[in-house]
């Protein structure tokens, strides 16, 4: 059995959460490493750790790219160490505990947990794309989708922009199983991961209602996205700056009265993001705060 390689760096909680939202140029490596963040000291936001796992020994440029993810450790010397394959498989799942949010139960193969009766189970492994459910933005979106369904909302055409692992698209399809569904990401690796996760979780791929169409696309600039517009549910779990920059574009593909779920923004950024969408004819309908993060549900005025 072949060995793998590991890099470890101390980091802060803020740096760890930023890594989980945006892997930067690391996501473009072939193959990308598995990045795991964890607390070294419970409830201490300054004492976290980043572990990066590789299939082969990383070169100096890759080590530098990993260090660039953690500004607080830029002066620290770091050296890759060899780890046995079985240890890597175990460690790559570390910290990914089963999570139940509303009617959804998210787990890994290593730890299925005990799902509540009637829950929709999703198996999402740690890997190359963001969105395992454990990050507060993703779990907050699951909670927001669950609440939206409870309001009686009808959805016939939905899109998940920046889908990551596909989890939020899968959850929305479970709630509205007859809807047309589209999932996109700027990163082709994320789309590959989503397709693989769809197979694991029994989600059909395709163009028909109840199936998921996939596309690699930056923003909305893709024929497959524009052809299906307007959407009555848009999910965008990305970052505050692109959410603000893309407000006009997102509004242009949304149906009148359509729902918009925005995430990937800190609570301190929520007002600026909401303001950008109010200028496009939206009103704030609901908000969920998860730790330092905010999840907004906005409705396009008729």
| 185 known member of a binding site | yes
φ/ψ of 243, rounded to 5, equals: -60, -45
| 59 known member of a binding site | no
Question: What residue ranges in the chain does DSSP mark as E strands?
Answer: 4-11, 34-39, 48-54, 81-83, 99-101, 104-107, 120-123, 157-161, 180-185, 212-216, 231-237, 254-266, 282-290, 293-300
Q: What does the alpha-carbon distance between residue 243 and residue 219 come to, in Å, rounded to a whole number?
A: 10
| 162 known member of a binding site | yes
Q: What does the alpha-carbon distance between residue 49 and residue 37 come to, in Å, rounded to a whole number?
A: 6
Contact 164, 135 (CB under 8 A): no
| 237 known member of a binding site | yes
| Alpha helices (runs of H) in the chain, residue ranges in sequence order | 13-21, 60-68, 85-91, 136-150, 167-175, 188-200, 223-228, 240-245, 247-252, 270-278
Q: Which parts are annotated binding residues for S-adenosyl-L-methionine?
A: 138, 162, 185, 237
Q: Which parts are annotated binding residues?
A: 138, 162, 185, 237
């Amino acid at each position: 059995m072949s060995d793998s390689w590991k890099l470890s760096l101390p980091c802060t909680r803020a740096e760890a959460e930023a890594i989980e939202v945006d892997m930067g140029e690391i996501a473009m490596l072939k193959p990308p490493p598995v990045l795991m963040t964890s607390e070294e000291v419970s409830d201490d936001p300054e004492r976290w750790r980043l572990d990066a796992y590789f299939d082969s020994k990383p070169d100096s440029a890759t080590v530098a790219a990993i260090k660039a993810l953690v500004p607080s450790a830029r002066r620290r010397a770091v050296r890759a160490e060899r780890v046995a394959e079985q240890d890597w498989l175990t460690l790559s799942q570390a910290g990914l505990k089963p999570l139940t949010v509303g009617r959804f139960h998210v787990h890994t193969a290593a730890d299925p947990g005990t799902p509540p009766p009637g829950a929709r189970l999703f198996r999402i492994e740690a890997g190359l794309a963001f969105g395992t459910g454990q990050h507060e933005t993703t779990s907050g979106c699951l909670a927001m989708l669950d609440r939206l369904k409870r309001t009686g909302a009808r959805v016939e055409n939905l899109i998940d922009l920046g889908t990551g692992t596909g989890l939020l698209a899968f959850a929305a399809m479970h709630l509205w199983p007859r809807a047309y569904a589209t999932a996109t990401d700027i990163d082709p690796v994320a789309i590959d991961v989503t397709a693989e996760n769809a197979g694991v979780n029994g989600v059909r791929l395709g163009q028909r209602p109840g199936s998921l169409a996939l596309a690699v696309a930056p923003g909305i600039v893709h024929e497959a996205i524009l052809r299906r517009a307007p959407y009555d549910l848009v999910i965008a779990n990305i970052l505050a700056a692109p959410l603000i920059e893309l407000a006009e574009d997102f509004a242009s593909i949304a149906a009148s009265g359509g729902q918009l779920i925005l995430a990937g923004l800190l609570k301190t950024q929520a007002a600026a993001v909401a303001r950008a969408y109010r200028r496009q004819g939206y009103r704030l309908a609901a908000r969920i705060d998860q730790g330092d993060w905010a999840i907004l549900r906005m409705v396009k005025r008729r």
